[in-house]
Amino acid sequence: MNPFHGRHFQGEIILWAVRWYCKYGISYRELQEMLA
């Protein structure tokens, strides 16, 4: 089962965003801008 099925971004991109959020304290808004 793929937990990222039906998401807009690929699973690898989602995992990178989570890593940036946790490691660097990037806000959700900044992540949105980076992924847009």
Domain regions of the chain by residue span: 8-36
CA dist., res. 8 & res. 21, Å (int): 18
**Regarding predicted confidence, which is higher, 30 or 36?**
30
Reply yes or no on whether the pLDDT at 14 is more than 80. Answer: yes
Locate 26 and state its tokens: 């990037």
Q: What is the pLDDT of residue 17?
A: 86
Q: How far apart are CA 18 and CA 25, in angstroms?
A: 10
pTM for the predicted model, two decimal places: 0.61
